[in-house]
Amino acid sequence: MESHQARVRVRYAETDQMGVVYHANYIVWMEVGRVEFCRAAGLSYRDMENEGALHLAVIEANCRYVSPARYDDEILIETRIEKATPRGVHFVYEMRHAETGQKLAEGFSRHLFLDHNLKPMRLPARFYPQFGL
């Protein structure tokens, strides 16, 4: 899968005193995009963790803010895999205002594959198609 789009609507609790989305919420939206990307690829986090004993540990995350989002805006989160190896995966994200297309933020997160003991592991071959390997 090349990319996946998810949507969120800005809740009042996600805004700050200036009436714009608090910066940490973009990282949360990146997680929404990543989880929905995996689901669309046929892989739920719950199944991956319970049945596959596979966890994706965030080892790095970054977000660059371009334009503010405000209460009740609908946000489009586009997620894709930049790079995947048997040891980890690098996701990239772009968040836009759903109505205007205005870019709001862009970012990435890098993940290490861990086993049920939270030790680094190689990705089981049965998950290769979902991660583009």
- How many other C-beta atoms lie within 10 A of the C-beta of residue 122? 11
Q: Which among 16, 47, 72, 73 is annotated as catalytic? A: 16
Q: Find tokens 């940490």 and name the residue.
A: 24
- Calpha distance 62→130 (Å, rounded): 23
Per the annotation, the verdict on 16 as an active-site residue is yes
Q: Any idea which residues carry the catalytic annotation? A: 16
